[in-house]
Structure 1
Amino acid sequence: MTQHKGTNRDSIKESPYRTLHWLRKFVRLWSLQTLTDVPERLHNLWQKMIGSYWFIPTACVLLGILLAPTLIAIDHQFDSESIKNIGIAFTGNDDTARAIVTSIASAVLGVAGTTFSITIAVLSMASSQFGPRLLRNFLTDTPNQFVLGAFIGTFSYSLLILKSIYKSDVASGVPQLAVTFAIVMAIVCALLLVYFVQHMVHAIQASHVIQGASNDAISNIHYWYRAYCDTEHNRHVEDSSDINDYRDWHKIPIYAPISGYIVQLYTESLVTLAKDYGGVIEMHAHLGAFVTDRNVVGHFYQRPEQHGSHVQRSRNRYLAILPRAVDALFWQRFAASLHIERRRTHSNDISYSLSQMTEIAIRALSPGINDPKTAVNCVQSLTMCISIMMRRQPPSPYHFFTPPDDYDQIPLVANQPRPAILAVVARRPTISDFITTSLGEIRHYAMADLMVLKALCQSMVDLNYARVNDAQRQSLLHELGLIERAGQDNLGYTELIADLEAMCKQAREFINDKDAHRKHFAYVSDFDAHIRSQLRRQFSES
């Protein structure tokens, strides 16, 4: 008992320090140095709130609480005889109104409990079949949240309406319009219950879950990959000499502030930080990577004092400001430029979205489920997502900042300044990385399944239609060789091995063909070719 009291006493003493820690973190997050990323931070905060299970139901409850006094006030502005002229309006006495509203409140609360029980059962089944990381897709399902919110919002509204019903001998004792709206909401809730059951039946289907994960991945791809080439940025890359020189400057290692997964990386804040301290920040850890507080996640390269980009405006018009030394404020601003959490959560990370489909495929290939058709469906969806990435312009690792308009008016230590100055170099996963971490993992678990291996082989052919350079072709040929090797070492029959080898050989020839973009690939095995020749011979003889 004494130890328990001591523990409570220590936690009480630590609570002010914890509050001060979170307050400092909030101040750093919304400081003036991070105003460039405020729209993105607000967007991420909004997405996090929308993705939570409580936001929409809470909004519905607040809406019900606001509607009740509003409709009661409107009721008091109308005469009861005028309301009776409305055909669907409630015109009963106070006892009838109280009985109706009480029945509605008790009924919708019971149905809300039923829908919550159904949701928990679906989550339990989805966790065992699709994986625990797919639970967020069910919890953030907007129709599911809205149905639950409508039930508890109607319950809250009915309670407040019930409080305002009193004896009919008092003027305007029965809020007739408010009771009518409660009846309408009860009918809507009954229809929503039918919709909820139908929606959950479709939500637990594997094809629906895969499509949702695929749509999420495509949305993130469109966020990072552009449909056009940024000619101005390419000009900055060609004109910048710092890209080849910055590694020769004095560098300072940058450590992760805490351990966890990098959920968000605010590039604009890093650019502003590099500009203020006169250097280049090179990030080695990418979005979604796991780091510890001892990991070197990047380096800060300090520009030499003679570098021309250090000239800035100050009180003295002709004073050249030298680069600032790294201090405590630098590390605070760098920590505010990263969002690290202990668990990997949903963000605009492409690899996280692709890993959801990969996990579904791996679960489908497990002995307990044994559903290769679902794995093939995941392979096809992953192929579609990677194909989109191959056809679009990848994100550039280089980020620049543009000097002010009066920059040229300041006397310079060096020659004419560049139109843009290098600030941040960020590492991005390549197409080869995405193929390895998605289709490559499925290949590892499908080594003894010919259907999935042939689907992976077909995937390489489909991706070949979208390739735009020779590096992508080499990545496809490398993965195709691994697929063939996996089948040779793990398939149980020589006929199956020969079938896979023949398909891989035809796929390799098709990928190496320079004119493959204008041809159609269709694998034909030796047995099928023999059957077709026999059928053609019989047809010609007849």
Structure 2
Amino acid sequence: MTVHKDDEKSVLARIFDTGQDRLKQFTQLWSLQTLTDLPDRLRNLWQQLIGSYWFIPTACVLIGILLAPLFVTIDQHFDRETIREITFAFTGDDEAARAIMTAIAGAVLGVAGTTFSITIAVLSMASSQFGPRLLRNFLTDTPNQFVLGAFIGTFSYSLLVLKSIHQSDVAFGVPQLAVTFAIIMAIICALLLVYFVQHMVHAIQASHVIQNASNDAINNVYYWYSDHCDLQHQRDVEHHDVEQFHSWPATPIYAPRSGYIQQIYLQSLITLTQEYGGVVQIHVNLGDYVTDKNVMGHFYQRPANHPNNRQKTTTPHLVVVPRAPDGTFWQRFAGCVRLEQRLAHSNDIAYSLGQITEIAVRALSPGINDPKTAVNCVQSLTSCLSIMMRRQPPSPYHFYVPAHDKDTPETVVKPQRVAILALVTHTPKISDFINVSLGEIRRYAAADLMVLKALCQAMVDLNYARVNKAQQQTLLHELNLIKRAGEENLSYQELVDDLVAMCHQAEQFMTDNDAKHRHFRYASDFATHIRQALQTQSS
């Protein structure tokens, strides 16, 4: 096979472009304009490192490389008579030390290969049963990475210690403490192998995978949804700019490149819009796919006579000269949005809920046919959605508050608060999350009575967490769709009647004003008839 010069140039060009993109990301990370979002950027960088399977093992190898000369140096300055008094310390000659270190290095390397093979087999099975998007949960499993890192770290340590063993006097030629530590690490690696097998057996269980995905979704809900209402923010939303900014001169904002939106750095966007005197409205959300020709937002430029455009002599912190976006604006905007070519883990709630939904959809496929797993997914999704319904959703409006309004001491009389509308984002509603999670399962479980009844029970459980009439109407609408799915797809009329009766009882229960203080239990006509017959016989 021959490689043409043009192909070599294209490969080098791709390598150069990749390195240039990474350099741009690094410079954007430490630029002065992005310091306000530095915690989020560092968190994303840490998630990328943890998401790679090489990070922790590489760290363990570096630790092994550093410990080997450290223990050898300590051996050279340590009293040998004191070492001989330690009962478990190695006190043999150079041949015994070399044999032990060779055996440890060969054994742990072989076990590391076995561990890697087991991991690959588990990943292959998880990809076919749970879906390829769940592979990251296995790759980012810290115990798996640590076990593999302990093996190859011990291997690298043993090689370096083996190199320092010399054929000379035992008192000076054998690093006894270093060999003793290698023996201890070998014993620990043997215990870690047992732990690894036990851990992998639990990791491949469907209930364990669902629970991990549910915990990830709940953490994202806590990240975005607050436990209280910000009254000051509600007062800022009543500002007239919220209603009028759509009438300002608008400039479309195109995506910097094609890809999935992984992160939107809000504080950096707020700073950018404040410098250019306008409002940025983002029409897309995390997880959405955009191309370089997509209009992902608009920049609305404030009029020249707007009251927020004040003079420098009166309020220097509000010096704003409204201007149209230029080249610098587009460069800085590209640094405010993180786009990736593949959909990866982020703080996106829909992505976390989609992982649980994918498990349920695959469980309902004819090849697997495991409705019980789908029911477990419905229950986990119900827990996540219940938490979302009880908490305060994020506001789409983001304001720029001058520094003196934040830092003024309480003892000093504060001036009137100034909050300038800077950014408007797209915030999904609870109905959207229900549709992409439970609604998606309903569409695939239209002919499965067990899952449909679990979805009906989920609507009742979510009704306990509702806080307004709009949420109740969303649940009742989904309940009606569940009933229609069963009526049109269930095989037997008896099954249809059973589902319709449950949905009817659930609807009556949910519309009751005292429903939150009562317990719902579905009772079929057949079960009621049997109970009445037993009561008649006993009386």
- Does the TM-score normalized on the shorter chain lie above 0.5? yes
Give CA deviations for 1:95-148 in whole Å, capped at 9, x if unaligned: 000000100000000000000000011111111110111111111111110100
Cα 1:314–1:348 shift into 2, 3 Å: farther
Give CA deviations for 1:204-237 in whole Å, capped at 9, x if unaligned: 0000000000000001000001111112211211
Match of 1:160 in 2: 160
Worse-superposed segment, 285-294 or 308-317 = 308-317
**Structure 1 position 10, deviation (Å):** 5.2
Cα 1:206–1:61 shift into 2, 3 Å: same
Tell me which amino acid in the other structure corresponds to 1:174: V
Stretches of structure 2 that go unaligned for 5 or more consecutive residues are: 407-414
Match of 2:411 in 1: none
What are the within-5 Å matches in structure 2 for residues 270-419 of structure 1? 270-311=269-310, 313=312, 321-405=320-404, 419=418
Cα 1:319–1:142 shift into 2, 3 Å: closer
Q: Tell whether the 8 Å contact from 1:93 to 1:168 is kept in structure 2 after alignment.
A: no
Match of 2:410 in 1: none
Match of 1:99 in 2: 99
Worse-superposed segment, 271-280 or 26-35 = 26-35
Q: Tell whether the 8 Å contact from 1:309 to 1:417 is kept in structure 2 after alignment.
A: no
Q: Tell whether the 8 Å contact from 1:308 to 1:417 is kept in structure 2 after alignment.
A: no
Match of 1:134 in 2: 134
**Structure 1 position 164, deviation (Å):** 0.5
Give CA deviations for 1:180-227 in whole Å, capped at 9, x if unaligned: 000000000000000100100000000000000000000100000111
- Helix, strand or coil for the counterpart of 2:114? helix
- Helix, strand or coil for the counterpart of 1:286? coil
Give CA deviations for 1:435-469 in whole Å, capped at 9, x if unaligned: 00000010001000000000000000000000001
**2:485, 2:311 → 1: CA distance?**
60
**1:200, 1:290 → 2: CA distance?**
34
Q: Tell whether the 8 Å contact from 1:402 to 1:419 is kept in structure 2 after alignment.
A: yes
Give CA deviations for 1:232-271 in whole Å, capped at 9, x if unaligned: 2112113x11111111111111111111110111111111
**Structure 1 position 178, deviation (Å):** 0.5
Match of 1:511 in 2: 510
Match of 1:36 in 2: 36
Tell me which amino acid in the other structure corresponds to 1:347: S
**Structure 1 position 509, deviation (Å):** 0.8
Give CA deviations for 1:15-63 in whole Å, capped at 9, x if unaligned: 6566555534543443211111111101110121122111110011001
Match of 2:54 in 1: 54
Cα 1:501–1:226 shift into 2, 3 Å: same
Match of 1:410 in 2: none
Cα RMSD, aligned residues only: 2.0
**2:130, 2:401 → 1: CA distance?**
47
- Helix, strand or coil for the counterpart of 2:173? coil
- Helix, strand or coil for the counterpart of 2:172? coil
Worse-superposed segment, 305-314 or 253-262 = 305-314
Counting aligned pairs with the same residue, the percent is 67
Worse-superposed segment, 3-12 or 473-482 = 3-12
Worse-superposed segment, 455-464 or 21-30 = 21-30
Match of 2:479 in 1: 480
- Helix, strand or coil for the counterpart of 2:87? coil
**2:16, 2:51 → 1: CA distance?**
30
Q: Tell whether the 8 Å contact from 2:80 to 2:171 is kept in structure 1 after alignment.
A: no
**Structure 1 position 418, deviation (Å):** 5.7
Match of 1:268 in 2: 267
Match of 1:430 in 2: 429
Tell me which amino acid in the other structure corresponds to 1:83: I
Match of 1:175 in 2: 175
Stretches of structure 1 that go unaligned for 5 or more consecutive residues are: 408-415
Match of 1:143 in 2: 143
Worse-superposed segment, 312-321 or 344-353 = 312-321
Cα 1:150–1:469 shift into 2, 3 Å: same
**1:318, 1:363 → 2: CA distance?**
56
Match of 1:411 in 2: none
- Helix, strand or coil for the counterpart of 1:168? coil
**Structure 1 position 7, deviation (Å):** 2.5
Q: Tell whether the 8 Å contact from 1:52 to 1:139 is kept in structure 2 after alignment.
A: yes
Match of 2:489 in 1: 490
Match of 1:221 in 2: 221
**1:285, 1:387 → 2: CA distance?**
25
**Structure 1 position 401, deviation (Å):** 1.0
Q: Tell whether the 8 Å contact from 1:395 to 1:428 is kept in structure 2 after alignment.
A: yes
Cα 1:419–1:516 shift into 2, 3 Å: same
Cα 1:60–1:350 shift into 2, 3 Å: same
**1:192, 1:24 → 2: CA distance?**
41
**2:352, 2:146 → 1: CA distance?**
24
Aligned residues: 531
Match of 2:409 in 1: none
- Helix, strand or coil for the counterpart of 1:298? strand
